[in-house]
Structure 1
Amino acid sequence: MNNDKTISVLNDLLNITNDRIAGFAKVADKVWDNYSELRPAYDDMVAESWDMKQDLIDLITAKGGDPDNTTSVSGAFHRAWIDVKNTFTKDKDESTLENVVFGEKAAIDAYDNALESGDLCPESTTLVLDQLHHLKASYAKFETLESIS
């Protein structure tokens, strides 16, 4: 197992996690008037993202790497697109839910790709699988809510 490849994959996931945190900040307080039942799930997702971030940083450091504690270019473009889209969207609540679902799906895809890459050591695989489980659970919550909105 190549430690540099493991660190690189973990840094990619750290960027994705930072994208989630930045994305959540974009949608904060946008739908709570009409979907107050979402607030606890949203707050859990935000707290979970910060925990995931710290776990990735800790593992990257333990592997001898330097955490790349930034967001991705694609995540920045997506957040800019959200701003443009929301400017012209009438139903901002529905659009916000769609953006949360889209972001969670993108994170799940990145985690699946990391696992399929074969570049993770057993310890990293365990952490990534655990984080993927949490991502899928939050995705399922918001996908269900989006479909009934």
Structure 2
Amino acid sequence: MDNSRTVSTLNDLLNITNDRIKGFSKVEDKVWETSSSLKNDYDQMVRESQTMKSELVELISEKGGEVDDSSTTAGALHRTWIDVKNAFGGENAESTLENVVFGENAAIDAYEEALEDGNLCPQSTAIVSGQLEKLKSSYAKFETLNKSID
């Protein structure tokens, strides 16, 4: 297996995870007044994101790769769009949760693609699969809450 392809795929997932972490910082304190029961789930997602990031960095280093600790252009554009939308439409729990669901869905798609492309070694596949399950779990929680607000 070519380590450079594995490292490249892992760095892509690291960039997505960084997007997730930055996106969560935009959510903080925006929905807790109307959805305080979600705070624990949100805090868990933030902790999981940090753990996922650490795991990816460790894998990249173990493969002899250089860690690309940036985020994606698409993620930056999405966060800018959120800022513009909030500036003109006001911040509300519904739009904030829609943004979380959108971001989680994009992360799931990226992880599934990474698992399907065949560039990961068995160790990386196991870790990325576990991270994908965490993403799917958080997506389900926030999608259910988002639908209940609609």
**TM-score, normalised relative to structure 2:** 0.97
Q: Shift of the alpha carbon at 1:89?
A: 2.4
Q: What is the CA deviation profile of residues 46-65 of structure 1, one whole-angstrom value per residue up to 9, with x for unaligned ones?
A: 00000000000001000100
After TM superposition, give the deviation of residue 91 of structure 1 in Å. Answer: 6.2
Match of 2:125 in 1: 125
How many Å separate the matches in 2 of 1:89 and 1:44?
A: 29
Q: Which residue of 2 aligns with 1:84?
A: 84
Secondary structure of the corresponding residue to residue 54 of structure 2: helix
> C-alpha distance in 2, partners of 1:82/1:90?
10
> Does 1:69 pair with 2:65?
no
Can you list the C-alpha shifts for 1:11-40, whole angstroms capped at 9, x where unaligned?
Answer: 000000000000000111111011000100
Q: 5+ unaligned residues in a row in structure 1: which ranges? A: none
Percent identity of paired positions between Structure 1 and Structure 2? 61
Deviation per residue, 1:67-118 (Å, 9 max, x gap):
1011111100000000111122256110000000000000000000101111
Following TM superposition, where does structure 1 have runs of at least 4 consecutive aligned residues deviating by more than 2 angstroms?
A: 88-91
CA RMSD of superposed structures (Å): 0.8
Work out the number of aligned pairs and report it.
149
Residue 42 of structure 2 aligns with which residue?
A: 42
Gaps of at least 5 residues in structure 2 are none
